């Protein structure tokens, strides 16, 4: 059995997630960590860079409060995301509608932008 490599991702000295295989995974509390205006999920640019260097091509964010799992490719986040700095350093954010979502035990809700052209 092949053991999957795991790389911790840091914001400063704090571990904020990990890359397992090709996926940057992060658990958050939506009520605290989601942007309000516009509703979005943001990442320190440095964490996205670290995840890319560690071989990630996807991002998976788990909202511990709702049980919702948000997924997108790093390419999609970089293409459709927006940059901001609201006092916490350079960040990149993707609006909630830009993510594929699943609630534990349910089928995924696809990103509307992925459905175009189908």
pLDDT at 37: 93
pLDDT at 116: 46
pLDDT in tens, the chain (118 residues): 556 789 999 999 999 999 999 999 999 999 999 999 999 999 999 999 999 999 999 999 999 999 999 999 999 999 999 999 988 889 999 999 999 999 876 555 555 554 444 4
Structure tokens at 26: 């992060």
pLDDT at 118: 40
In contact, 51 and 9? CB cutoff 8 Å: yes
48: nearest Cα among 80, 14, 73: 73
What is the pTM (predicted TM-score) of this model?
A: 0.83
pLDDT at 117: 45
The number of CA neighbours under 13 Å toward the Cβ of 94 is 23
First-last CA distance in the chain: 38
């Amino acid at each position: 059995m092949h053991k999957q490599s795991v790389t911790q991702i840091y914001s400063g000295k704090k571990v904020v997630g990990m890359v397992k295989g090709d996926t940057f995974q992060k658990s958050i509390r939506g009520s605290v960590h989601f942007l309000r205006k516009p509703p979005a999920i943001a990442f320190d640019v440095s964490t996205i860079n670290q995840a890319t260097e560690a071989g990630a091509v996807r991002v998976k964010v788990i909202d511990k409060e709702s049980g919702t799992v948000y997924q997108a490719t790093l390419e999609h986040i970089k293409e459709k995301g927006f940059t901001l700095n609201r006092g916490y350093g350079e960040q990149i954010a993707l609006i909630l509608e830009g993510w594929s979502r699943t609630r534990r035990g349910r089928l995924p809700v696809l990103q509307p932008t992925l459905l175009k052209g189908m």
